[in-house]
Amino acid sequence: MPKHGKQYREAIKLVDEEKLYEPEEAIGLLKKVSYVKFDPTVELHMRLGVDPRHADQMVRGTATLPAGSGKEVKVLVFAQGEKVAEAQAAGADFVGMDDMIKQINEGWLGFDVAVATPDVMGRVASLGRRLGPRGLMPNPKTGTVTFEVGRAVREVKAGRVEFRVDKTSLLHIPIGKLSFDDAQLMRNLAATIDAVVRAKPTGAKGQYVRSVVLCSTMSPSVRLDPQVALSLKVG
C-alpha cells in the first residue's frame, strides 16, 4: 500500500477519527485540512443498507445542487425537428442525431452528460456498449430521456448531479467546490441527502443510511453524524 505524503499526514492530525461531526463543523474542518493548490471538489460518500444485487434495492437518481456544482458541464442532446432548436436555446453544447452517433462510434466522447428525446432512443440505443460503461447513456430514471430537453439541459448546466449505488452499497456524489462558502455547501449537502432519501427503494429494509462522510479531493475524510445529516432542511 502506498504511504501518504507529509502534507496528508499533517492534515489528518486535525481530524478526530472517532468523532461524528456536525455538518457545519465538518465543512469548516475540510477547509482547514485541504492542502492542494487547486480548487478541490467536495465529495459526499454514503453507505446504504441495501444490496444492489437485487433490482428492488438499487438506488439511482439525481440531485439538483442549489448553489451549482462549480464545474462547467458539456451537454450533448440527441434530438430532431423542433427539439433541436429548443436544446440549442437552452445552452446545449452539442445537438444532433446521426452525425453525433457517427462521431461517438469513431471514438469521440467530448461531453459530460447526454440527453435524448424518447422518439430517438431506438437509434441512440446502438451506443449502449460505448456509453453505458462510462455512465453516459441517457436514462429515464435520471431525467435524461425526456421531451422537455430545454429544461433538462438547464438543470444539468445549473448543477444537477447523478448518483448510483455501487456494488459495495456506497454512493459517491460531488456536491460543489471547496471555494464555495459554508452556506452554499450546506445547501448542496442538504439537497443531495434529501434526494438520496427520496430515492430509497421499496426493497430496502432496516437502517437505510448507515454512514455519511465528507472529503475533498486528496483530503482526509470527515465522518458526519448520520442522524443530524438526515435532519438537514432543504431550502
- Assess whether 88 and 150 both reside in one domain: yes
* Cell numbers that stand for 201 in this block: 427503494
Residue 144 belongs to some domain of the structure: yes
Residues, the chain: 235
d(CA 86, CA 149): 7
**Segment holding 28, helix H or strand E:** helix 23-33
- For residue 87, CA distances in Å to 1, 75, 102 come to 47, 10, 20
Give the CATH number, domain containing residue 25. 3.30.190.20
In a domain, 70, yes or no: no
Final residue before a domain boundary, out of 134, 157, 180: 157
% pLDDT > 70, the chain = 99
Q: Could you tell me if 80 and 145 lie in one domain? A: yes
Residues 148 and 169 in one domain: no
Neighbouring C-beta atoms of residue 19, cutoff 10 Å: 14
Q: Are residues 90 and 205 in the same domain?
A: no
User: Could you tell me the residue range of the domain that residue 27 belongs to?
Assistant: 6-59+165-230
Residues 107 and 150 in one domain: yes
Question: Is there a domain that residue 148 lies in?
Answer: yes
Q: Are 80 and 118 in contact (CB under 8 A)?
A: no
Same domain, 152 and 169: no
Terminus-to-terminus CA distance in the chain, angstroms? 43
The whole-model pTM stands at 0.82
What pLDDT does 24 receive? Answer: 96
The verdict on 185 and 117 lying in the same domain is no
Within 10 angstroms of residue 27's Cβ, the number of other Cβ atoms is: 25
Q: State the Cα torsion 16-164-97-120 to the nearest 10°.
A: -160
User: For the CA atoms of the chain, what is the radius of gyration?
Assistant: 19
The domain tally of the chain equals 2
CATH number reported for the structural domain that contains residue 87 in this entry: 3.40.50.790
Residues 86 and 54 in one domain: no
Residue 95 lies in a domain: yes
How far apart (Å, rounded) are the C-alpha atoms in residues 194 and 121? 30
pLDDT for 162-199, tens place per residue?
899 999 999 999 999 999 999 999 999 999 999 999 99
Domain assignment of residue 188, yes or no:
yes
The string of pLDDT tens digits covering residues 37-53 is 999 999 999 999 999 99
Say whether pLDDT at 3 is over 90: no
Residue type at 167 in one-letter notation: K
**Residue 11 above 50 pLDDT?**
yes
Looking at residue 142, its pLDDT comes to 87
In a domain, 121, yes or no: yes
Which residues are CB-neighbours of 1 under 8 A, at least 6 positions away?
A: none
Residue 2 pLDDT: 55
Q: Is the pLDDT of residue 55 over 90?
A: yes
Q: Are residues 152 and 171 in the same domain?
A: no
10 Å CB burial of residue 218 (0-12, 13-18, 19+) is middle
Indicate if 80 and 195 belong to the same structural domain: no
Are 215 and 191 in a shared domain? yes
The DSSP result for 47-97, as a single string, is EES--TTSGGG--EEEEE-TT--SS---EEEE--THHHHHHHHTT-SEEES
Q: Judge whether 49 lies within some domain.
A: yes
Q: Is residue 68 included in any domain, yes or no?
A: no
Are 94 and 142 found together in one domain?
yes
